[in-house]
Structures are given as structure tokens and as C-alpha cells.
């Protein structure tokens, strides 16, 4: 691909495009593996991501809908349908938010807790060939890849904040409104 692009556009640096293309191609494989794992659990990928997010949410295993949207990168209507489905399966429940009379919390049920632990945390994901391949990287390679991807994602998420992350972006703007100076000339 690089050779073809370079032949057509010899003056262009196509290394970033090559990296993005490789990220997309790798993501395709990992998404296929995650879809297989989700299907084995009787869920779709976003539903699996939602219960995984609730499992990571600490001892209460609950998040409000805005937090779930941010964790799962899902549109609001899609997340509502998925929470409805998860609730019908007995994997989550909706409860009033004690900190906000108008709000609700989506809480992982005992059944949901067992499902996510048996599906992701205890090995099914690790059994997928894509994870075996990823585990062939050395510790140093994995650390470098994580560092680079984190740097890229922090920038992308800062530049392309979605509606679910607007409260965080608004608080950053308010904080910037205070007189502060940075090494970058602020």
C-alpha cells in the first residue's frame, strides 16, 4: 500500500496513513474476536462492553447512563435499547440515583457479575486467537504500543469529544478560564 501511495504521491509522507491503516486492520481482527466472545455469552459487543464497564465500576458495580455512554462509545438510543435488553436478561437493573433524584443508576446484577467474570475476566477472551497473537509481543513492545496508542487516543478524544463527554470538556474549559500559564505559552 505504501509503495502504491508513494508512486501516486511521491512528495507526501504517508507513514501516518500507513499506521492508521494498520490500526484499522488490527482492530478488525480484535473486533471479530470480541464479537465471537459476546455471541458465546448471548450478547452483542456493546452489551458485553456495558456489563464489563459495570464490572470495572468498583464495589457498587453501577454507573449512570452518561457514564455508560462514555464507556461504551454508544449513541444514547442504542444504549437505552441495550440496557433494556440486558435488564430483560436479568444482567442489570435500574435503580434511582441516591445522589440525584431525577437520575438512575444501572447496576450489574449477581447474574451479570457471574456472566462477565466467566466470559472476559476468567479466560474466554484470552482463548481467542487474536489475544494469543497479541501475547506474542514482548513486554517492551506491549508497553511501547500502549504508550503510543494512549498518546494518540488522548489527543483524539480531546479533539473529538462526543456528547457523552461534554461535561468533562466543559469543566476543562472552565478550568482553562482561570488564569494559568503553561510551558507551551499559555
pLDDT of residue 52: 92
Mean pLDDT of 140-152: 95
**Is 136 among the domain residues?**
no
The phi and psi torsions of 149 (rounded to 5 degrees) equal -65, -35
Q: To the nearest whole number, what is the mean pLDDT of the chain?
A: 81
CATH number at residue 67: 1.10.10.10
pLDDT of residue 72: 81
**Is 145 among the domain residues?**
no
pLDDT of residue 121: 60
pLDDT exceeds cutoff 90 at 181: no
pLDDT exceeds cutoff 70 at 173: no
For the chain, the domain total comes to: 1
**Is 154 among the domain residues?**
no
**Is 137 among the domain residues?**
no
Q: In Å, what is the CA distance from 49 to each residue of 106, 123, 164?
A: 14, 16, 16
DSSP per position, 94-120: EEEETTEEEEEEEEE-HHHHHHHIIII
Residue numbers of the domain that contains 120: 2-131
Residue 176 per-residue DSSP state: H
pLDDT of residue 182: 31
Amino acid at each position: 500500500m505504501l509503495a502504491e501511495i508513494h508512486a501516486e504521491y511521491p512528495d507526501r509522507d504517508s507513514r501516518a496513513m500507513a499506521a492508521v491503516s494498520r490500526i484499522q486492520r488490527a482492530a478488525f481482527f480484535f473486533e471479530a474476536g470480541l464479537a465471537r466472545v459476546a455471541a458465546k455469552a448471548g450478547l452483542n459487543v456493546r452489551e458485553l462492553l456495558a456489563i464489563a464497564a459495570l464490572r470495572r465500576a468498583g464495589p457498587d458495580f453501577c454507573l449512570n447512563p452518561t457514564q455508560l455512554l462514555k464507556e461504551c462509545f454508544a449513541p444514547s438510543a442504542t444504549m437505552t435499547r441495550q440496557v433494556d435488553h440486558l435488564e430483560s436478561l436479568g444482567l442489570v437493573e435500574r435503580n434511582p440515583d441516591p445522589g440525584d433524584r431525577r437520575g438512575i443508576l444501572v447496576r450489574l446484577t449477581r447474574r451479570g457479575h457471574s456472566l462477565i467474570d466467566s466470559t472476559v475476566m476468567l479466560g474466554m477472551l484470552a482463548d481467542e486467537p487474536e489475544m494469543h497473537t497479541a501475547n506474542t509481543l514482548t513486554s517492551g513492545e506491549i508497553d511501547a504500543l500502549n504508550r503510543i496508542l494512549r498518546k494518540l487516543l488522548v489527543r483524539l478524544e480531546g479533539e473529538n469529544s462526543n456528547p457523552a463527554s461534554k461535561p468533562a470538556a466543559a469543566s476543562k474549559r472552565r478550568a482553562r478560564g482561570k488564569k494559568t500559564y503553561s510551558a507551551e505559552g499559555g
